[in-house]
Amino acid sequence: MIDASPADNPGERRAAYALISPAWVMFVVLLAGPSLAVVVLSLTDWQLGAPTMNFIGFGNYEQLFADRVFWKSFGNTFVYCLVVVPGSVFLGLGLALLIEGAAFGRAFYRAAYFLPVTSTLIAMAVVWEFMLHPSVGLINIVLEQVGIKGGDWLKNPSRALFTLAGIGIWQSAGLNMVLFMAGLKAIPPDLYEAAEIDGASSVWERFRCVTWPMLGPATLFVTVVSGIRSFQVFDTVEVLTKGGPNKATEVLLYTMYTEAFNFFRTGYGAAITVVFLVVVLALTLLQVKAGEKRTHYS
Amino acid sequence: MTRRGTLLGHVLRHAVLLAGLVIMLAPFVWMVSTSLKPPNEIFSTKLSLLPTNWAAAENYRDAFTKVPLLRYLLNGVIVTGGIFLLQLLVSLPCAYALAKLRFKGRDILFTMVLIGLMIPAQAPAIPRYVMLYQIGLLDTYAALILPFVFSAFGIFLMRQFFRTVPDDLMHAARLDGLGEFEILWRIMLPQAMPAMLAFGVISIVTHWNDFFWPLIVIQTGDLATPPLGTLFFRNEEAGSDFGPLMAGTVVITAPLILLFLAAQRRFIEGVTLSGMKG
């Protein structure tokens, strides 16, 4: 390892600056600049293409916090996360435990359950739309066989958000599964033997005494990562419901998208982006903390 | 994990896993099944996986003629390929300097990369859009590619990798009179293939599947990426002609699924890494 002291070798320093300069320029122009600009824009009344731009302080935020649609959207995003995160974390954990404990077929199961993660979500959303069709969709046909009337999954306001959450769980459980598998592999096998000698004979006892405590930090980490991912829900909303019916599936990124890119209320859209960014950054700091804990344990 | 247990335990375990699999894979199976059926069988409430009268040829022909599916796939290749190549060009030199060279400002730069890892892709979207609007690049390939040239994740991943390469290799190369660019190109790169593949998987999966950004910057049908093209197709069909539509989604999802089946291990490794990134 090299120490962090400044270079004593001018040649090495010159080469280093030449090597980093493209990345530095791109960082400033494409990431740092725009991320700061979004904060500045959120303090203006600018609309795309308008000749003038006035600073209006926190005007956009005042308007935002007084807007019922914004709070609806904010609340919906949280409800979505509160369904998808536990759903996909527990499903991921269960799958990881079942598959890692299987005597054969582990690679097959892992690949099959992982398939939804890599498939193009927009295309699969179109397939889900067809499967959720009230009269000719697979789901209602199957439900009818067992005597249940399925009804409308996407146009029923009390149900639409949960339907989208179901698709979210379907899509992300496989990712959580492989993250948990990485955590399970890190548990030393002698711990199970030790637990058995100490009288933990049943599968449940071994899970409670060894697997669960050892997996704790990984669980926290997977939960936060799932939270960040599901907070960014957008694709299924745009394709399947467009925020409807009656704002029942309006979520934060979708509100941002319509304000900034359909109505071109740039300043207002920027304010929504800032709210979105603050929540994601708060979750990310949690993730960093969870990550530190994890390295501490392993 | 222990892999012992009773016979009943084994049977139960596989029963649960297989039942779950039916639900997880149902959309894929139903998509393929529908793409083979004629309309009257699609709109029938009788369940069957295979059609009585095959309509695969008609459905797939319609899918390719109603919308430029091949063009969408080609756009996907151009955009994901262009993004990944430029990301490598920008990330590799920076990652090497961060890992192996001493210079003032190195720690600040690395902190910036770590901050860059935390910023979600949608946050800089509005200013990026305004920039492209002002230089007249909206609705072009450049609009799809340029915003993603800087990859904090790529720099981070490659830096971590370069740090594991022994310094002796570099010292020997310097004694032989090689410059830093040559060391990067001739000594480091050949060793970095596994890390570059992991980076490539993440970059390609992310940008092939990305929908938010193409939706914002692309209006012209001919420039649509596969996800945006799927949406155009769906809107054109207006929910009536499911056979060709499902044939279209089969074609759109096939490339990544085939790539995944061919290189599962790399895929799961790569996506696990990016999952860690958030």
With contacts defined as CB-CB under 8 Å, which chain A residues touch B91?
23
- B97-to-A5, A225, B1, B5, B196 alpha-carbon distances in Å: 14, 30, 42, 53, 17
- Can you tell me the distance from the alpha carbon of A270 to that of A276, in angstroms, rounded to the nearest whole number? 10
Q: Does position A183 have pLDDT exceeding 70, yes or no?
A: yes
Q: State which residue of chain A sits closest to B174, comparing Cα positions.
A: A12
Could you tell me the residue ranges of all domains in chain A? 61-297
ipTM of this model?
0.86
Question: Taking CA atoms, what residue in B is nearest to A14?
Answer: B103
Q: CATH number of the domain at A61-297, please?
A: 1.10.3720.10
- Whether pLDDT at A100 is above 90: no
CB A167 within 8 A of CB A235: no
More confident residue, A288 or A2: A288
**All structural domains of chain B:** 7-64 (no CATH), 67-237 (1.10.3720.10)
Q: Return the residue of B nearest to A193 by Cα.
A: B2
Task: Determine contact, residues B39/B53, Cβ cutoff 8 Å.
Answer: no
pLDDT of A297 strictly over 60: no
Closest chain B CA to residue A102? B3
Residues of A in contact with B268 (CB under 8 A): 110, 114, 178
Residue A9 has pLDDT above 70, yes or no: yes
Q: Which of A216-220, A289-293, B72-76, B261-265 has the lowest mean pLDDT?
A: A289-293
Question: A53 vs chain B: nearest CA distance in angstroms?
Answer: 14
Specify the pTM: 0.87
Q: Which helix (H) or strand (E) holds A13?
A: helix A10-26
- Listed in sequence order, the residues at least 6 apart from B143 whose beta carbon sits closer than 8 Å to its beta carbon are B132, B137, B217, B218
Question: What is the Cα A137 distance to its own chain's centre?
Answer: 28
Q: Collect all residues with Cβ–Cβ distance below 8 Å to A269 and sequence separation of at least 6.
A: A256, A259, A260, A261, B126
Identify which of B208, B233, B182 has the alpha carbon closest to the alpha carbon of residue B62: B233
Buried b (16+ CB within 10 A) or exposed e, B30-63: bbbbbbbbbeebbeeeeeeeebeeebeeebbebb
Instruction: Tell me which chain B residues have a C-beta less than 8 angstroms from the C-beta of A116.
Output: 24, 27
pLDDT bucket at B238, cuts 50 / 70 / 90: low
Q: What does the pLDDT read at residue A2?
A: 47
Q: What is the pLDDT of residue A11?
A: 79
Cα–Cα dist B266/A178, whole Å: 13
pLDDT digits (tens, 9 = 90+) for A102-156: 878 888 999 899 999 888 889 999 899 989 988 888 888 888 888 888 788 888 8
Q: For residue B278, what pLDDT is reported? A: 38
pLDDT in tens, A231-256: 999 999 999 998 878 888 999 999 99
Q: Rounded to whole angstroms, how far apart are CA atoms B123 and B147?
A: 12
Distance between CA atoms of residues B264 and A112, nearest Å: 10
| DSSP per-residue codes, B241-260 | -HHHHHHHHHHHHHHHHHHH
Q: Which residues of B touch A228 (CB under 8 A)?
A: 120, 278
**Eight-state DSSP code of residue B229:** H
Q: Which tokens belong to A125?
A: 């959303």
B253 and A124 within 8 Å at the Cβ level: the answer is yes
Distance CA B45, CA A149 (A): 14
* Alpha-carbon dihedral sign for residues A41, A45, A48, A50: negative
CA distance B102 to chain A (A): 5
